[in-house]
Each structure stands twice: as structure tokens, then as C-alpha cells.
């Protein structure tokens, strides 16, 4: 294993040792790209290339439950656009491993790369199952070859240890890693701003441009009290979904409401419908699972 690793790997290694185990568009522009409303007809084997491939593998004797769950997770939890669904369907329909494709897509969502990079990342799919953080590593390798628009975090275990000893939590390091994928600010800038006591809203505004120039300072002052960056990210997602205006969602967080909870409830509702559809078609193995969406 090389000394330099993605922040996710470095943090994992540190925790294991402790426990013994391109300029990007403003978020307002991104919000214009609404995610797809899943139509029941598109979930049938007849009309879905990805499901046809999964059924084909099932008939060949392959255990496809993991693929079925991965594809349902893609539709229910990741809010793809219609164009993105068509692209992912085409890959799975060609025989690409569904779980791997969805794993890459989930990482890709935080970037500004063209979606076609998913195929380049797929070339780094490990020959054995269970390898963690391989997608992160693949992006780093592609960046080193000049095949990406952005640069991807490459922290060593020693760097993570030094950051932690200086007062930066592992959660903050992982959040900085996630935000750095967008390409506007690198991980060192994000962590430096956090060490300067910048609020998470101010940092996310620097990364995603959440505010207009006119409202920037007012919003930074107003939302600096939101200490959980995941609530801000969930609010952004709700705004993209058209559920509410971003400021309304953030105001709700200040009042004690949770955008993360609201988003999770929406995912569960969507996931249950997809799961029921697959069960009806005989695609979903219901043995040995809980009744909750996303938990077996």
C-alpha cells in the first residue's frame, strides 16, 4: 500500500490503529437540473435494459440480489436525472457490474467530471469483492494521468494524524474530502478554513456558491450557527428536488427541523415503492430481511 492515500483510506487506517481494527457553476444553476420522477412503467423488465440484464444473469444461475438492491438504491436514494438513468442503464445493460457502477456514480455525484468518466473508473474494478475505497483510488490515479478535470485528495496517514492532533476531527477531514471533489477548493483549503473557525455554511458557500453576492455576508452571519454540514448538504438536495427554497430549508434547520430527516423520509417512501414493484416482478428476494427500506 502506498504512503499516500485518499482521505477516506487514511482516516480508516488511523481509526483502525486507534481501535485495533475547473471552475464550477453556482449551486443555483445546478438546482435547475431536476431529478427524474420514476415512472412505474420504467421499472418493468420489458422497458428497462438494466433489469433485463439482471434477469438474464439470474436465469444463468447468478445470485443477483446485490445487483437488484444496488440498482434500487441508485433510483431511490441518489436522485439521478433522466439522462443519468439512461446512461447507467446502458452500462448495466452491457454487462457492467451494477453494484460497481452505482458505487462509482455515487462518488461521481460530488464531482464536476463528465459522467463518461464512470467507464474509465470502472477499468479499476478490483478482481475480488470487498475492496474498500477503490473508487477514490481510481479517481486519484486518473487525475495523476491528467484524465480528470479536478484533482482528488491524497492524504497520508501521517498527515491525517497531524491534522487530528491539531484539533481537526476525523469527521471534518472526511467532509473536507467530500467537498474537495467538486473542484473549486481543495481539501487543504477546506481544512485550513475550518481551523480558522469559518462556519460550515461559509465554507460550503465558497465551494458551491450558495449565495448571491448581495446576500453573501447576510447569509454567512445568519447560517453560521448550523454546525452540522450534512444538514446544509441535505438542504441543498431538497432545493434541487424542488421541495423548498434553499433559504427556507436552512431556516428550518435553525428552528430545529432536520433537512436530513426530511430527505431520509423521502428516500424511504421512494424506495418502498420501487421495492414493492420488484417483489411483484419476482426480482427481489425477500428472505431474511427487515421490513425497513435499505436494511436486510
Which set of grid coordinates corresponds to residue 108? Answer: 461521481
Q: Determine the Cα–Cα distance for residues 219 and 193; give it in Å rounded to an integer.
A: 17
- Sequence length of the chain is 296
87 domain-assigned: no
Alpha helices in 27-144 (DSSP H): 27-31, 49-59, 65-77, 82-93, 98-108, 117-122, 134-144
78 domain-assigned: no
Q: Determine the Cα–Cα distance for residues 62 and 69; give it in Å rounded to an integer.
A: 14
52 domain-assigned: no
Q: Determine the Cα–Cα distance for residues 49 and 103; give it in Å rounded to an integer.
A: 19
What is the reported pTM?
0.86
199 domain-assigned: yes
| pLDDT for 27 | 44
180 domain-assigned: yes
| pLDDT for 196 | 93
Per-residue pLDDT for the chain (296 aa), expressed as one digit of tens each? Answer: 445 667 766 666 565 555 444 444 444 444 444 555 666 567 789 889 999 999 999 999 999 999 999 999 999 999 999 999 999 999 999 999 999 999 999 999 999 999 999 999 999 999 998 899 999 999 999 999 999 998 887 788 899 999 999 989 999 999 999 999 999 999 999 999 999 999 999 999 999 999 999 999 999 999 999 999 999 999 999 998 888 899 999 999 999 999 999 999 999 999 999 999 999 999 998 886 655 666 54
Nearest CA-CA partner of 289 in 69, 7, 28, 45: 69
| pLDDT for 28 | 41
H/E element, 109: none
Task: Show Cβ contacts of residue 125 under 8 Å, excluding neighbours closer than 6 positions.
Answer: 97, 100, 134
Range of the domain at 239: 170-262
H/E element, 146: none
Q: What's the structural domain count of the chain?
A: 1
222 domain-assigned: yes
The string of DSSP letters for 191-237 reads HHHHHTT--HHHHHHHHH--S-TTTHHHHHHHHTT---HHHHHHHHH
CA 177 to chain centre: 12
CB 267 within 8 A of CB 76: yes
Amino acid at each position: 500500500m502506498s504512503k499516500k492515500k485518499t482521505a477516506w483510506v487514511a482516516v480508516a487506517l488511523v481509526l483502525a490503529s486507534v481501535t485495533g481494527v475547473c471552475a464550477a457553476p453556482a449551486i443555483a444553476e445546478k438546482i435547475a437540473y431536476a431529478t427524474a420522477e420514476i415512472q412505474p412503467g420504467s421499472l418493468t423488465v420489458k422497458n428497462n435494459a438494466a433489469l433485463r440484464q439482471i434477469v438474464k444473469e439470474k436465469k444463468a444461475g447468478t445470485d443477483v440480489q446485490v445487483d437488484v438492491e444496488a440498482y434500487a438504491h441508485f433510483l431511490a436514494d441518489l436522485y439521478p436525472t433522466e439522462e443519468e438513468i439512461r446512461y447507467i442503464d446502458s452500462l448495466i445493460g452491457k454487462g457492467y457490474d451494477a453494484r460497481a457502477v452505482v458505487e462509482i456514480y455515487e462518488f461521481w455525484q460530488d464531482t464536476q467530471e463528465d459522467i463518461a468518466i464512470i467507464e474509465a473508473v470502472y477499468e479499476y474494478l478490483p478482481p475480488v469483492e470487498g475492496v474498500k475505497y477503490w473508487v477514490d483510488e481510481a479517481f486519484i490515479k486518473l487525475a495523476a494521468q491528467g484524465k480528470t478535470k479536478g484533482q482528488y485528495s491524497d492524504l497520508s496517514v501521517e498527515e491525517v494524524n497531524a491534522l487530528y492532533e491539531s484539533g481537526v476531527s476525523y469527521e471534518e477531514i472526511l467532509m473536507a474530502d467530500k467537498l474537495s471533489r467538486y473542484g473549486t477548493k481543495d481539501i487543504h483549503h477546506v481544512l485550513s478554513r475550518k481551523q480558522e473557525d469559518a462556519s460550515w455554511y461559509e465554507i460550503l458557500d465558497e465551494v458551491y456558491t450558495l449565495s448571491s453576492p448581495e446576500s453573501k455576508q447576510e447569509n454567512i452571519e445568519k447560517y453560521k450557527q448550523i454546525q452540522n454540514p450534512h444538514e446544509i448538504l441535505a438542504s441543498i438536495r431538497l432545493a434541487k428536488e424542488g421541495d423548498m427554497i434553499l433559504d427556507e430549508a436552512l431556516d428550518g434547520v435553525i428552528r430545529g427541523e432536520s433537512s436530513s430527516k426530511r430527505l431520509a423520509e423521502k428516500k424511504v417512501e421512494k424506495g418502498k415503492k420501487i421495492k414493492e414493484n420488484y417483489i411483484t416482478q419476482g426480482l427481489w428476494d425477500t428472505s431474511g430481511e427487515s421490513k425497513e427500506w435499505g436494511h436486510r
